[in-house]
Chains A and B, each alone.
Chain A
């Protein structure tokens, strides 16, 4: 069963690489809150994932800074929780 992983930790938090390691093939990753700093954290390559637009904008980051990262709003995050029966919050 694909899992939706939602992470709010900054990329230099130990939970962040732990979350990336836990991602299975069909899983989906969403960056929220401080986790969106990963868009400008070059030492940690990101898999294709989503980032919460409000949190990206709040930190004055560019929405197009990393290819493979799609911007979503809260409505989009709700849709992802609809399509994933399992949600993991990191």
Chain B
């Protein structure tokens, strides 16, 4: 079988860590697509998926810290990752700009995640060859 040319992917994660398997499945898929010679354009967190971007996630020491694993992967692969700003703000995920704007006592977005609007997702639908959604299970 001839190998198909490299594709570009956007992954959308809308299931939260610890209540869904979405961040875990998406990470395994992300690693596999890169191993397969493809490009990961961007990771987009939407809905409850934005909880993955909280730097304050503190699981027990014998459990996986999905935020940390994702952060490490994103930085190693230099993959842009954005949290939908509308989803993030109402779930208490803020960067320093939003902290200032809303006069909140702290910001907590984990590196290298950034806040962006749905326009980023719209752009992804136009530029990536494939978009996969990692959804909640309920």
**Given A8-B21, A33-B25, residue A78 in contact with residue B135 (CB < 8 A):** no
Which residues on B sit within 8 Å (CB–CB) of A25? none
A8, A73, A74, A82: the one contacting B137 at CB < 8 Å is A8
Interface residues in B113-138 by Cβ distance below 8 A to A read: 130-135, 137-138
Tell me, in angstroms, the Cα distance from A8 to B131 when the chains sit together: 16
The number of chain B residues with a CB under 8 A from chain A is 22
Q: Which residue from A8, A54, A83 sits with its C-beta under 8 Å from B28?
A: A54
Q: How far is the CB of A79 from chain B (nearest CB, A)?
A: 7
The chain A residues found within 8 Å of chain B, CB to CB, are 6, 8-10, 13, 32-34, 54-55, 73-75, 77-79, 81-83, 87, 89-90
Interfacial residues, chain B to chain A (CB-CB below 8 A) = 4, 7, 9, 21-22, 25, 28-29, 31-33, 35-36, 38, 130-135, 137-138
**CB<8 Å pairs between A and B, sample of 8:** A8-B135, A8-B137, A13-B138, A74-B28, A77-B29, A77-B32, A78-B38, A82-B36
